Amino acid sequence: MPRPFLTNSDGHRPVCLRCQKASRDCQWSNRSAREQQSRSPTTPDQSLTTRARSAEYVSTKDPKKALRDPQIAAIFRYYIEHLAGWYDLNDRKRHFGDIVPSCARKNSLLLSAILAFAAASQSSSFLKKDLWDVAESYHLESVQALLQLTENPDEFRTGETLAAICLLRSYEIISQNVSCQNHLQGSYSLLASRPAGLETGLLSAGFWNYLREDITVALIEKRSLMIELSHEQLPPTIEGEDDHANRITYLLGKVINRCLDQDASPLEHHEWHSLSGELGTWRASLPASFEPIGTPGLYGQSSFPCLWTVSGWHASSLQYYHTALAILSVAEPMQTTMNTLQQIDRINDFEKKLDHHAIQVSALAVFSNSAPVWVNSFGPISFCGPWLRDSRRIHELIEETQRWGSKTGWPVMSIVESLSRSGTIG
């Protein structure tokens, strides 16, 4: 999470230290909440008054009344039946599938966030323009509600608010592009006053979802995370398989922040060995249930080895593990005493390692037949996929990525372009 942000006594918005350190603007504006309501949450210079509400728009300020509307109820059910699993990928307690919908029946922010995301997802997947108008309306209502909540931090710091932020971030990814942040980074900073590892319930589930979303965007953009990580965020004990999944999520985030920060110094040998050792310890600690099953020909012909798992978090965890190893392969410190032939051997070994990790990441996605796994795979595929050395595999991965991008509504064009350049070079 971000380190404790700075506050002034003059009413200015907080500034997270990561933005301050990187000399970039934090996603907050110094305008008042009243002034904020006159601006678009997606493009600050666009007046909200120029955006017409959908004719079918029903406010969520009274959730009970809103859910009596057939269209609103249908969008709400679409989230429960088709999208909640994205968030419960690594959660055996199914907070986003069971707890979030129940809370949304009384929490207008959470309901509007669900409706914005679910309507945008359906609009992108099924090309329904009317649902896009609905999605915009509920996104606007959600952002206005978030801005109002920030005036009272005690009411703001709840699991419901963090869940809404995760949903709105997915909306922004689907509706615009993967780098869109808007007000959500500043909103998240206000929630980062306590270590997530010491939290339980929806706050903890929300943190791990927010981190996975941050990892996805960071891998696609080849940059560090927007949030800091501390050891306190790790689960203190391993109580279930999803704790193993959360632990590798944390370790991948740690590797990303150390290796993909453009201002970071090269890894020292001791750092590289330490990070590699943590990944090795995690892999050795896994129960046998995580091992992928190899069944040649199970889903017909493929250029990838048929590897599948019995649970989505098994696939996502192993993908994160191989992605972290791929990053460390690139970041491994070089020995200065190598001669030319040794350098050639090193390059060949380097390419084989990256190809191996890319094959594992891709195969676990291709044979998952799971939307939650695929949504979580887009980041690892974006980073690892271009290292594939077999053009047949690259072309198959492009086709599968496009197919699942269409099915989920996820914007995959930048991933496909990256893979296509790799296939052309190969």
Q: What is the pLDDT of residues 193-243, one digit of tens each?
A: 444 444 568 988 999 999 999 999 999 999 999 888 887 777 777 888 999
Tell which of 173, 203, 233 closes a domain.
233
pTM for the predicted model, two decimal places: 0.84
Q: Is residue 49 part of a domain?
A: no
Token match 């918005």: residue? 13
DSSP 68: T
For residue 310, being part of any structural domain is answered with yes
In the listed set 233, 252, 274, which residue is the last one of a domain according to the structure? 233
Domain that holds residue 133: 56-233
Q: Identify which has the larger pLDDT, 153 or 83.
A: 83
CA angle centred on 368, ends 128 and 90, rounded to 5°: 85
Q: Is the pLDDT of residue 372 over 50?
A: yes
Q: What is the mean pLDDT of residues 280-294?
A: 96
Distance CA 126, CA 140 (A): 22
Same domain, 192 and 118: yes
26 belongs to a structural domain: no
The verdict on 308 and 405 lying in the same domain is yes
pLDDT band at 128, cuts 50/70/90? Answer: confident
Phi, then psi, of 121 in degrees rounded to 5: -65, -45
Buried-state track 273-310, b at ≥16 Cβ within 10 A, e below 16: eebbebbeebeeebeeebebeeeeeeeeebbbebbbbe
Residues 91, 226: one domain?
yes
Domain final residue, candidates 233, 258, 279: 233
Is residue 208 exposed (0-12), middle (13-18) or buried (19+ Cβ within 10 Å)?
A: buried
The reply to whether 8 falls in a domain is no
Query: 309 and 170: one domain?
Result: no
Whether residues 154 and 228 share a domain: the answer is yes
